[in-house]
């Protein structure tokens, strides 16, 4: 007869937080959201610590280099999706590591022999008003000059006028030398009242632009997550099949942390993958594992050497694993049990292994519940898929803007390595769907609102840090009728789209 677990499989929506004492220090500006990403020994600090407790999901429709750059600049980490060629994934990682905040590669480039008509066309295509003029019209090579909107008047100048006749030539430009710090570049911009500063090397070849407007942008990202070389931190997903080829390429590209992408982490295939990383790189390369939903699964991966462990099976908004296979567990129940196992392991060994809640988030307050129940950080797909920075198309559907969003187990992705059960068989049935999510705009704008809600909720709990939240939060089960009570009820809502 099968073993029966008496705990009911519960979701975040079945719980509420009870207010704690809000003291004078419990204000949003005092709340810190720092949290460990990888394991550490008691009394020591983790080698990687998040400033925002979010990581983006290992999905084609979520995590590419653009998302990784945007999220790292805001204190989190993206795990670049692994269901692509080793070469293209490594190149995405390399692009993130090469990114320098404030130093911008030019995507709007001209040749001296181009015309004003070419300038106007390029402006219409890119929206950029500052354009770099090089010998070959590319974002590299000998800098010949700069064109801005102040250099021409479309209403009076002829469309066939050559760029070399109205650009600001190189000899009249103020430039910075390649290798200059961002602070020094900004000092030159302010001293000479410039809107932009071209950066060139000793041969006069163009490298970057630094914009005055990016000075404020840099100040707006105080939580930027970078390594000791001031390069953004980035993760990458791997599978349990081609890791002996994929991992070295990702390490060479500069990847900071790996994560095994699997729907079922309680498997010998994950242990084998971790064993390879440890044998090849020791503890230098960090690797997360998962997903699991109970104490036994956590302990298996902890003993295997995982640096963090993901929790959750079947709770993602595009996941249909529970429908297809009857496998999974309510996300709240899974987090509670695994967090208890994590704490027991810490008491026994003195090693703290962070856990990541993956799936089950519907409302922003669910994020606080997940953290209060013991999660150290959250992995989310749908949340990030809505933003400009995700790699999918923005479309108009039924009068509203949406973005495409599909699961790694869908027929579209066909990432069968994620559902590897050993042997030679590939994906035989879908465990994810192809869908849309409402378009929401820029990541930073939405993230600021979400983090504001989290901080306000934590203050209402009488806490100003994630460890304190775990220790002091009070949580209650809710009935179906109390859920109804929690929303707008017994009133006639106004039509907000009305002109009245």
**Residues belonging to the active site:** 319, 418
Distance, CA of 351 to CA of 305 (rounded, Å) = 11
Strands 40-41 and 351-352 come out as: antiparallel
Within 13 Å and on the Cβ side, how many CA atoms surround 349? 16
Do residues 14 and 477 make contact, with C-beta atoms less than 8 angstroms apart? yes
CB 326 within 8 A of CB 320: no
List the one residue out of 307, 233, 236, 292 whose CA is nearest residue 262: 292
On the question of a cis peptide bond just before residue 291, with omega within 30 degrees of 0, the verdict is yes
Tokens for 322? 């529970």
CB distance 345 to 353 below 8 Å: yes
Instruction: Kindly write down the DSSP assignment for every residue of 446-490, as one continuous string.
Output: HHHHHHHHHHHHHHHTT-SBHHHHHHH-EEEE--HHHHHHTS--S
Q: By CB neighbour count within 10 A (0-12 exposed, 13-18 middle, 19+ buried), where does 30 fall?
A: middle
Per-residue tokens: 196: 């932009």
Residue in the structure block whose two tokens are 């989190």: 76
Q: Which residues contact 305 (CB under 8 A, 6 or more apart)?
A: 274, 275, 278, 287
Region for 448 from its dihedrals, namely left if φ exceeds 0, alpha if ψ lies in -120 to 50, beta otherwise = alpha
Residue 365 tokens read as: 């307050």
**Spatial distance between the Cα atoms of 306 and 300, rounded to a whole number of angstroms:** 9
Q: Per residue in 75-108, is it b (16+ CB within 10 Å) or e — as a string?
A: bbbbbbbbbbebeebbebbbbbbebebbbbebeb
**Of the candidates 219, 231, 210, 215, which has an alpha carbon nearest to the alpha carbon of residue 106?**
210
């Amino acid at each position: 007869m099968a073993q029966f677990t008496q705990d009911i499989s519960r979701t975040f929506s079945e719980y509420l937080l009870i207010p704690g004492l809000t003291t004078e220090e419990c204000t949003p500006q005092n709340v810190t959201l720092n949290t460990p990403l990888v394991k550490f020994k008691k009394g020591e600090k983790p080698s990687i610590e998040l400033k925002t407790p979010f990581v983006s999901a290992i999905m084609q429709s979520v995590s590419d280099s653009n998302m990784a750059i945007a999220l790292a600049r805001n204190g989190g980490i993206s795990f670049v999706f692994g269901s692509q060629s080793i070469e293209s994934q490594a190149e995405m990682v390399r692009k993130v590591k090469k990114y320098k905040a404030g130093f911008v590669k030019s995507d709007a480039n001209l040749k001296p022999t181009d015309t004003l008509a070419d300038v106007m066309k390029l402006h219409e295509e890119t929206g950029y008003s500052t354009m770099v003029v090089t010998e070959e019209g590319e974002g590299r090579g000998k800098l010949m000059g700069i064109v801005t909107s102040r250099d021409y008047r479309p209403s009076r100048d002829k469309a066939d006028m050559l760029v070399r006749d109205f650009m600001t030539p190189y000899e009249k430009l103020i430039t910075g030398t390649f290798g200059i710090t961002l602070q020094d570049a900004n000092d030159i911009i302010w001293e000479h009242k410039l809107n932009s500063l071209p950066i060139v090397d000793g041969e006069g070849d163009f490298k970057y632009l630094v914009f005055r407007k990016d000075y404020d942008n840099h100040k707006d990202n105080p939580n930027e997550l970078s390594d000791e070389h001031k390069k953004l931190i980035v993760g990458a997903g791997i599978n349990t099949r081609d890791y002996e080829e994929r991992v070295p390429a990702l390490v060479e590209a500069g990847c900071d942390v790996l994560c095994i992408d699997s729907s079922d982490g309680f498997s010998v295939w994950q242990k084998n993958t971790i064993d390879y990383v440890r044998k090849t790189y020791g503890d230098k390369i960090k690797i997360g594992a998962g997903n699991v939903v109970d104490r036994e699964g956590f302990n298996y991966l902890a003993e295997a050497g995982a640096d963090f462990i993901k929790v959750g099976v079947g709770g993602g908004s595009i996941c249909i694993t529970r429908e297809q296979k009857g496998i999974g567990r309510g996300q709240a129940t899974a987090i509670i049990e695994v967090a208890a196992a994590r704490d027991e392991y810490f008491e026994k060994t003195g090693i703290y292994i962070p856990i990541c809640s993956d799936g089950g988030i519907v409302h922003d307050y669910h994020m606080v519940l997940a953290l209060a129940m013991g999660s150290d950080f959250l992995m989310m797909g749908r949340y990030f898929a809505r933003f400009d920075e995700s790699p999918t198309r923005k479309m108009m559907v039924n009068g509203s803007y949406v973005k495409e969003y599909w699961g790694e187990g869908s027929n579209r992705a066909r990432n069968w390595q994620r559902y590897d059960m050993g042997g030679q068989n590939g994906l035989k049935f879908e465990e994810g769907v192809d869908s849309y999510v409402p378009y929401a705009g820029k990541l930073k704008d939405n993230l600021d609102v979400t983090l504001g809600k989290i901080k306000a909720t934590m203050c209402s709990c009488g806490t100003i840090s994630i460890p304190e939240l775990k220790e002091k939060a009070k949580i209650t089960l809710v009935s179906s009728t109390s859920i109804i009570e929690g929303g707008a009820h017994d009133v006639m809502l106004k039509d907000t789209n009305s002109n009245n």
